[in-house]
Amino acid sequence: MIIVIQCKDQVGLVAAISGVLAQEQLNIISLREHVDPTENRFFMRIDVAGERAAENLQRELRKFLPPDAVISINPRPEKKIVVLVTKEYHCLSDILVRHHFRTLGASVQHVIGNYPILEDICHRFEIPFSHITHQDQEKEIFEQQIIDAMLQYQPDYIVLAKFMRILSPAFIRAFPARIINIHHSFLPAFAGANPYRQAFERGVKLIGATAHFVTDQLDEGPIIAQQIIPVNHSFTAADMMKAGKEIETSVLAKALRLVFEDRVLVYKNKTVVFE
């Protein structure tokens, strides 16, 4: 069982929480905590052995925590996800392989694409695929069709595996801190479209990728994971794109693992990541 807590910081929180867990006969396997002194904010992730009803445990913990405490108790080891895609296969294929061999930490319930190109690979892994076209229809209708297709699965998270469409604020508000995107640059550099072309034209010596939660500010959501690799003058824009795809796959895989293991806590536009 994983317990995740964030709240206003105050003296004695670790002792109080540990006391409640001992009282409930829950053994602490691991405990990580962090205090942000600027925000006076306390963050904790606890892995415990034992079984207790989540509602009862939350009630006992709240007796000793500040009123603003956010408590998540997640006994389910495997999350449910829906993946949104466009045409690029590299991130989706990695997710499907990890799902097949049960190393993803989540169950892929459904893949939705605004092009039919990736339907075949989904069928090969026996994952349902829906083609929802965005052409010749309003964005609101397009997004509502996506939501309707997802709701039957009740996903914990939505993964944008190179889904090259900008989602509306209304869509994002419906899934707060639950939409994960992989962006093809080391944010905040080269946000928006064609980052490898931007990097090539700028003559950069490092390129990277960023996995982040989606907000209504384009490519500015809380960052989960990042990675960079060196490049040089001999790299063309195509070379950078090829190398970048490998980083994108790696960074997204790492970010998903961290999120699925409840190691990422979001506060305002930042994250605390207990790796």
Structure tokens at 49: 């052995």
Output the pLDDT for position 188: 56
Verify that 243 and 120 share a domain, yes or no: yes
Which of 36, 47, 148, 219 is an active site residue? Answer: 219
Where do the DSSP E strands lie in the chain?
Answer: 2-8, 27-36, 41-49, 70-74, 79-85, 106-113, 129-131, 157-160, 179-183, 206-213, 223-230, 264-267, 270-273
pLDDT tens, per residue, the chain with 275 residues: 999 999 999 999 999 999 999 999 999 999 999 999 999 999 999 999 988 888 999 999 999 999 999 999 987 678 999 999 999 999 999 999 999 999 999 999 999 999 999 999 999 999 999 999 876 568 889 999 999 999 899 999 999 999 988 999 999 999 999 999 998 776 556 655 666 666 667 677 777 889 999 998 877 899 999 998 888 888 887 887 788 888 999 999 999 999 999 999 999 999 999 99
Q: Which of 74, 90, 120 is a domain's end point? A: 74
| Cut 0.75: pTM above it | yes
Q: Do residue 147 and residue 249 come from a single domain?
A: yes
Check if 219 is active-site. Answer: yes
CA angle 224, 48, 17 (to 5 degrees): 85
| Sign for the pseudo-dihedral over CA of 232, 210, 121, 142 | negative
Sheet holding 206-213, edge to edge: 129-131, 106-113, 79-85, 157-160, 179-183, 206-213, 223-230
Q: How far apart are CA 273 and CA 212, in angstroms?
A: 12
Q: Which residues, 6 or more positions from 164, have their beta carbon under 8 angstroms from its beta carbon?
A: 86, 87, 88
Instruction: State which residues form the domain around 65.
Output: 2-74
Judgement on whether residues 45 and 155 belong to the same structural domain of the protein: no
Shared-domain flag, residues 242 and 106: yes
Same domain for 45 and 137, yes or no, is: no
CATH code of residue 34:
3.30.70.260
Distance, CA of 183 to CA of 191 (rounded, Å) = 8
Helix/strand/coil for 207: strand
